[in-house]
Structure 1
Amino acid sequence: MTQKISSHAFIHLSINVNHRNNVFEHIQNGIMITNCESKVVYTNPAFSRITGYSAAEMLGNNPGILHSGRHDKKFYEEMWKSINEKGYWEGEIWNRKKTGEIFPEFITISTLINIDEYVCNYIAISSDITSFKLEDLRNLTLAFYDPLTGLPNRSLYHDRVSHALDNAKLNPNSKHTILFMDLDHFKQVNDTYGHLVGDHLLKIVGQRLSSLIRAGDTVARVGGDEFTAVLHGDNDKATVKKLAERIVENIEKPFEVDGHKVNIAISIGISFYPDDAKQLDDLLAKADEAMYDAKKTKRKIQFYDELA
């Protein structure tokens, strides 16, 4: 059933088949035209390149064949409300290729009306924005993750600890543990073997630390050879000390890096929330202070509350 609409709301556009083919066949955006019953009557070569569906496969089909399942009923209801009331809709949508791959598109859907001011067709012009989404993901990764080790960086680490402390205010029994870790003799590795070996070593150290930290906790690289971790839950000193001892033991095992046998050590400072501090900066500063004492005294592991 066609719908009569006011002429000032939409653009009159008649499509001559030959002219349409000459123009649309060479456009890099995907183009799909449906009739007023939402059956596909035309797709251009770019549409086939983007989705994997040939023009013959789409002809007579409902565009719903592209639905990814990511959007709910309300999403499509809002889309059609805009199309019916304004004559167009544009936005990002996740569709599904013939291969089954789900991908993001930016789509503009417009109504086409005939000289009698009735909707005769809908035209969708789409662009595959996968590359833009990947760029956004890369930017997000650079903002919150260390590019060398892939671990959370200082910014993300602070955000996670801050979030944990905010939640702790709602639970008086909540406890958290901060481990501040610094590699010993790392500068010597760089001076002896070069920065490429040093970088590779940092990456392996990050992997070893990650393998020792529980999935719900966070280990991060916050500086050149500085790592830190936050442990959630009521961890008593004995439990935390055993973890710290496992870290020391694993980091002091020889590393095979680019054909070189490399030995380093690690110093660890530990502070507890809320016993040692209740504010983020104070908690981190006290773990840092304990770490420097562990390095200076060569104890390797130092609790803040046991500083002389």
Structure 2
Amino acid sequence: MGWQVFAGSVVLVLLPLLVVCVLLCHRVPAAAGEVLAERWVLLAASLFALAAAFFLGRLVTASLGRLAAVAPPAGGERFTGQVDDLAARIRRVAEAARESAERVDAETRRRLSAEDFLQLYRQLFDNLGEGIVITDAQATILAVNSAFTAITGYKAHEVAGRTPWLLKSDRHDDAFYERIRQVLASRGSWAGEVWSRRADGTVSPQWLRIGSVRDEAGTVRYYFASCTEIGERKRRERQVAFLAHHDALTRLPNRAFLENRLARALPAHGGDSGLLLAVFFIDLDNFKNVNDVFGHRQGDELLVQVAGRLKSVLGRGDSLYRLGSDEFILLMERVESEPALYLTANRILAALKKPFTLEFRTIYVNASIGISRFPGDGDNPLELIRSADMAMHRAKTEGRNRYQLFTREMHEQLYERFRTENGIRSGLLHREFVVYYQPKVDIATRTTTSLEALIRWQKGGRLISPGVFIPVAEESSLIDDLCRHVLEATCQFHAVLQHHGVAVPVSVNIAPRQFLNIDFIDLLEDLLGRHRMDPHYLELEITETTAMRDVEHTLRIMEQIRRLGIRFSIDDFGTGYSSLGSLNRMPVSTLKIDKQFVQDLEQHTPIVATIIAISQQMHLNVVAEGVETEAQLLELAAMGCQEAQGYYFSRPLADTEILRYLAGERAGGAPGEERR
């Protein structure tokens, strides 16, 4: 029985070896097509190992059987030793078989891993966004990827065995390609922009990178190149470059282009050439109305048509630019005489005089033109453009639809305006603006009925006339700050009048910009609330022009303010173009006759009499401004005028002086010398 047990042990040793061999065969993935042959080799080896194990087991079993049959029982110890020796040998064989199986398994894993990486690299090669070309040392194409086909139009089989020279275009000469070869030879790589010919014969810009692969001896074995299509990028770059120096709407050169052009052109006009350079600053009149009425899309279409009209005026060597909005510049670089400037300006006005058509609508457009010259009106591009701009604004001031040459007087006026504007800003910051008050007097009783608040600028120990700084402030947002300052000071001072028992209504002049400000009503409510001022003591004066600019809008604002309890008066009445029907709809309590009619009362008696008659028919109070003599006062009283204001009664007084004036009047005494 001992030998049978031993035979079973041998089988148990060999059986795992067999299982290992079979498992090795099954561990080879059938999906790896490239290693299919290797799989069959491993399978054959496993079958061979199975057969060898079987026959070895049979041989050992047979040998053990024979030994058991002939061996005497007394020789059991010798037999046992032989069996132990044989078992040890079998164990060594089994261990060697196991180690061999492990080596086979590791090698199989390594080969399969390498194949997986090869598959991955192939997929990456084909799916790269850049076109890839691989050549041998003689520049024969070995492989290309899908991106190369997409960029060039050449398929892989069409370029295999050929050289990259089939992509050569006529955009580069031979010297260009020779430089590439020299750089490759010295550095081993090259990168740059090239124009390549596609399979359909067209050429396109590409960014090309070329590298080389060398062996241990430094000999080039392969070249590889990557190419990227940059046509779209170059198109965008050209568009960005164009828009940096051109207007997107009209496609005309812009201000930056103009300044560069002037900087190059000015040196050529120095010396005794006798030629002038001229800048025409063209600004459309009332273009905002087109945008407001027809919309910005139609406004843009009009600008395009205007650009076309202006181009038709250009002479040889002239150029046209758009600065922005409705502003254009026409540059003449070779002007032989000043009359040529007048001729060109008239041609521009004539070209724009013809009607424009916007979606079957007929539109008429005028322009104001300012002209500056070099040499004479500026030493650099910015000065010339600024001088032409000043002349253009002068043309607008004088009636629009005309041209104006720049003069040095304009520059001096601009400089003074600039100084005044900066001074106003500084004055507001340092509280240099003060409010004076001038009484309005009942003609019949000669007593003060109300006051008018008037702003004054105290600077350097002197008073600056409102006629100097108010027009400048009205051209900027500074008028809002001045009006707010006057309203604040008036409400604050009225509390002082109340405290002294001499309170009378106070009127404040409101600029058009402030009156139309959407926050104006909130400002009034805030001031009345903070200073606890009875709104019936506050009156707002607006000019006739402001009231009639947009009657419906004016009515809406006046009604809202009137509901607060504030009264209105129309200032400078008779100087504008009032509609009596519109005036009758407005919540107005007083009309003020402008002082120009009062100062020359004899000549303007019919006008003054008419204004007084209108006010009486409309049950409005009427105040005559600028009264300086007793004769004027008596004549106004004879016509039925109720109140008067002017130096005859008192000049504008500071707050302390007007307080004393009112107190003296209430006490029944004469106001004193300060009145006049």
> What TM-score do the two structures reach when normalised by structure 2?
0.40
- Using the TM superposition, give the Cα deviation of residue 307 of structure 1 relative to its aligned residue in structure 2, in angstroms: 8.1
| 1:41-100 CA distance string (max 9 Å, x none) | 332221121122233333343323323333344433332222111111112222232334
- Tell which deviates more after alignment, 63-72 or 120-129: 63-72
Equivalent residues in 2 for 1:194-273, closer than 5 Å: 194-214=295-315, 216-273=317-374
Q: Which amino acid aligns with 2:372?
A: S
- Using the TM superposition, give the Cα deviation of residue 276 of structure 1 relative to its aligned residue in structure 2, in angstroms: 3.1
Identify if the C-alpha distance between structure 1 residues 43 and 174 changes in structure 2 by more than 3 Å, giving closer, same or farther.
Answer: farther
Q: Which amino acid aligns with 2:266?
A: L
- Using the TM superposition, give the Cα deviation of residue 110 of structure 1 relative to its aligned residue in structure 2, in angstroms: 0.6
Contact 2:274 2:336 in 1 (8 A): no
Aligned to 1:281: 382
- Tell which deviates more after alignment, 105-114 or 233-242: 233-242
Aligned to 1:63: 164
- Using the TM superposition, give the Cα deviation of residue 114 of structure 1 relative to its aligned residue in structure 2, in angstroms: 4.2
| 1:80-132 CA distance string (max 9 Å, x none) | 22211111111222223233433221111011234654212221101112222
- Using the TM superposition, give the Cα deviation of residue 201 of structure 1 relative to its aligned residue in structure 2, in angstroms: 1.0
**Could you tell me which of 106, 116, 119 is aligned with 2:207?**
106
Q: 2-side partners of 1:175 and 1:249: how far apart? A: 23
Percent identity among equivalent residues?
33
Equivalent residues in 2 for 1:172-183, closer than 5 Å: 172=273, 175-183=276-284
Q: Any idea what SS the aligned residue of 1:41 has?
A: strand
- Using the TM superposition, give the Cα deviation of residue 166 of structure 1 relative to its aligned residue in structure 2, in angstroms: 3.9
**Could you tell me which of 22, 27, 31 is aligned with 2:128?**
27
**Could you tell me which of 173, 178, 182 is aligned with 1:77?**
178
Aligned to 2:236: 135
Contact 2:317 2:334 in 1 (8 A): no
Aligned to 2:137: 36
Q: 1-side partners of 2:152 and 2:310: how far apart? A: 43
Q: Any idea what SS the aligned residue of 2:368 has?
A: strand
Q: 2-side partners of 1:131 and 1:215: how far apart? A: 36
Report which structure shows greater RCO (CA 8 Å, sep ≥6): 1
Q: Any idea what SS the aligned residue of 1:89 has?
A: strand
| 1:191-239 CA distance string (max 9 Å, x none) | 1111111111112212222233246432111121110021222343333
Contact 1:176 1:231 in 2 (8 A): yes
Aligned to 1:4: none
Q: Which amino acid aligns with 2:258?
A: Y
Q: 1-side partners of 2:199 and 2:316: how far apart? A: 36
Q: 2-side partners of 1:178 and 1:158: how far apart? A: 11
Q: Which runs of 5+ in 2 are unaligned?
A: 1-116, 411-676
Query: Which structure carries more strand by proportion?
Result: 1
Q: Which amino acid aligns with 1:296?
A: T
Equivalent residues in 2 for 1:112-123, closer than 5 Å: 112-114=213-215, 117-123=218-224
| 1:265-284 CA distance string (max 9 Å, x none) | 11111122114333222222
Q: Which runs of 5+ in 1 are unaligned?
A: 1-15
> What TM-score do the two structures reach when normalised by structure 1?
0.84
Q: 1-side partners of 2:264 and 2:294: how far apart? A: 40
- Using the TM superposition, give the Cα deviation of residue 189 of structure 1 relative to its aligned residue in structure 2, in angstroms: 0.7
Q: 2-side partners of 1:106 and 1:203: how far apart? A: 38
- Greater C-alpha Rg: 2
**Could you tell me which of 154, 157, 163 is aligned with 1:53?**
154
Identify if the C-alpha distance between structure 1 residues 240 and 69 changes in structure 2 by more than 3 Å, giving closer, same or farther.
Answer: farther
Q: 2-side partners of 1:36 and 1:167: how far apart? A: 58
Q: 2-side partners of 1:215 and 1:125: how far apart? A: 49
Identify if the C-alpha distance between structure 1 residues 19 and 188 changes in structure 2 by more than 3 Å, giving closer, same or farther.
Answer: closer
Q: 2-side partners of 1:286 and 1:177: how far apart? A: 11
Q: 2-side partners of 1:170 and 1:18: how far apart? A: 77
Contact 1:157 1:218 in 2 (8 A): no
- Tell which deviates more after alignment, 253-262 or 53-62: 53-62
Contact 2:349 2:401 in 1 (8 A): no
- Using the TM superposition, give the Cα deviation of residue 186 of structure 1 relative to its aligned residue in structure 2, in angstroms: 0.5
- Tell which deviates more after alignment, 26-35 or 214-223: 214-223
- Tell which deviates more after alignment, 168-177 or 252-261: 168-177
Q: Any idea what SS the aligned residue of 2:169 has?
A: coil
Aligned to 1:89: 190
Q: Which amino acid aligns with 1:190?
A: N
Q: Any idea what SS the aligned residue of 1:25 has?
A: helix
Query: Which structure carries more helix by proportion?
Result: 2
Q: How many residues align?
A: 293
Q: 1-side partners of 2:156 and 2:169: how far apart? A: 20
Q: 2-side partners of 1:53 and 1:236: how far apart? A: 64
Identify if the C-alpha distance between structure 1 residues 294 and 67 changes in structure 2 by more than 3 Å, giving closer, same or farther.
Answer: farther
Contact 2:313 2:351 in 1 (8 A): no
Contact 2:245 2:257 in 1 (8 A): yes
Q: Which amino acid aligns with 1:302?
A: Q
